């Protein structure tokens, strides 16, 4: 069994945006009692002792935590590489300079689109101008800059303009990642799933940009699972390389696993080391012994590990099923039907989106 390489620290699920594709839990009320500064610092120590090298500070919006600088300082002391995953709402010059002095290594900013009207509409609040200002500030202060754009039917046709914006901002990395259908995104799947024609156009644009920007910008383009022949490996394998700690201290093998009917693991009740090595949650789908057919006899079983357990549960009600994204899955028809609907000529592409509610109260210490 490998030690985890990365820790996703979801410091809070409060967020000033209300993106309809948000994959955070729908039941936000379960996460009001956030870990204190001292509790997070203990988690970081245990993570470093467990072998974690990279710390991703996320949410919600991690800038809503008043102790963010303190947590970065602690992580720096422990020798962890720190990456701030942020909407950039609240990233003032003063806050940015404090984080730089504390030792923050990298900043990843989410951008909803390439222009204000569409971006603000998707985010549910005026935020585009501040994001662009923050991106320029990140480069000014000498950080590597990653821009992350979650793609869906509403912005898929703007990929070329998004690439132009990333080039203008001198981004070092651009992640064009199609929506993963968990949380609020699951509720809005029918309005978000792009068509095959949209994907084909975007892929051609990305392919040309990679050639043109080679050596200047790293471009990651992630297809939507529903259009893939084979599923992606769940976080590189369930309980294999990554772990997530949620705002209330729950520990998960992946950010969406809170939805699965599995035993709970929490830093309030056990250490990260024991949770990683012994908890029923992390043992549930680790390795390949749990697999049903056709996964058990498939030559790809140690490549994609049966696909995403959360997606299997979401689509079939059984987390142990082969991910229906796989064309070999006996449940593949579920995915094929959604793809067919997404490509109907008169599909309701303007169906009403259910936005994630705003949650932006100041963080605790």
Residues tagged in the binding site annotation for [4Fe-4S] cluster:
15, 19, 22
β-partners of residue 109 are 86, 147
- Going across the sheet that includes 173-178, the strands are 218-222, 173-178, 145-151, 106-110, 81-86, 54-58, 6-10, 242-245, 251-252
Return the bridge partners of 252, or none.
244
What count of Cα atoms within 13 Å lies in the side-chain half-sphere of residue 314?
23
| Token digits of residue 142 | 């000498």
Please name which of 106, 184, 107 lies closest in space to residue 152, comparing C-alpha atoms: 184
Q: What does the alpha-carbon distance between residue 164 and residue 169 come to, in Å, rounded to a whole number?
A: 9
Q: Could you tell me which residues come within 8 angstroms of residue 297 by beta carbon, excluding any fewer than 6 positions away? A: none
DSSP class per residue in 123-159: HTSS-HHHHHHHHHHHHHTT--EEEEEEE-TTTGGGH
What SS3 state is found at 170? coil
Residue 183, number of CB atoms within 10 A of its CB: 22
Q: Are 102 and 141 in contact, with CB atoms under 8 Å apart? A: no
Cα gap 241→37, rounded to integer Å: 25
Closest alpha carbon to 53 in 4, 110, 15: 4
Sign of CA dihedral 364, 70, 14, 44: negative
């Amino acid at each position: 069994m490998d030690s985890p390489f990365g820790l996703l620290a979801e410091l809070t699920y409060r967020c000033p945006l209300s993106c309809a594709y948000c994959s955070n839990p729908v039941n936000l009320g379960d996460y009001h009692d956030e870990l204190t500064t001292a509790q997070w610092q203990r988690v970081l120590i245990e993570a470093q002792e467990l072998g974690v090298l990279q710390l991703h500070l996320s949410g919600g919006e991690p800038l809503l935590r008043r102790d963010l600088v303190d947590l970065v300082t602690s992580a720096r002391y422990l020798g962890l590489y720190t990456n701030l995953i942020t909407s950039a709402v609240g990233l003032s010059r003063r806050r940015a300079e404090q984080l730089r002095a504390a030792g923050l290594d990298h900043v990843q900013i989410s951008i909803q689109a390439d222009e204000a009207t569409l971006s603000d509409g998707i985010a549910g609040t005026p935020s585009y101008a501040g994001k662009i200002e923050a991106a320029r500030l990140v480069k000014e202060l000498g950080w590597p800059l990653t821009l992350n754009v979650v793609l869906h039917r509403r912005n898929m046709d703007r990929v070329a303009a998004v690439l132009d914006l990333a080039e203008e901002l001198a981004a070092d990395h651009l992640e064009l990642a199609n929506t993963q259908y968990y949380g609020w995104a699951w509720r809005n799947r029918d309005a978000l799933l792009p068509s095959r024609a949209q994907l084909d156009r975007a892929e051609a644009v990305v392919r040309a940009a990679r050639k043109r920007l080679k050596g200047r910008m790293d471009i990651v383009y992630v297809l939507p699972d529903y259009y893939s022949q084979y599923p992606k490996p769940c976080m590189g394998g369930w309980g294999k390389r990554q772990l997530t700690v949620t705002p209330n201290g729950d520990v998960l093998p992946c950010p969406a696993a809170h939805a699965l009917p599995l035993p709970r693991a929490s830093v309030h009740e056990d250490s990260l080391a024991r949770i990683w090595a012994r908890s029923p949650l992390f043992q549930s789908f680790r390795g390949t012994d749990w697999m049903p057919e056709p996964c058990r006899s498939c030559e790809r079983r140690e490549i994609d590990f049966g696909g995403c357990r959360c997606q299997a549960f979401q689509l079939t009600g059984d987390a142990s099923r082969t991910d229906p994204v796989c064309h070999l899955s006996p449940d593949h028809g579920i995915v094929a039907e959604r793809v067919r609907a997404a490509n109907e000529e008169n599909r309701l592409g303007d169906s009403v989106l259910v936005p994630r509610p705003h949650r932006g109260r100041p963080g605790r210490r």
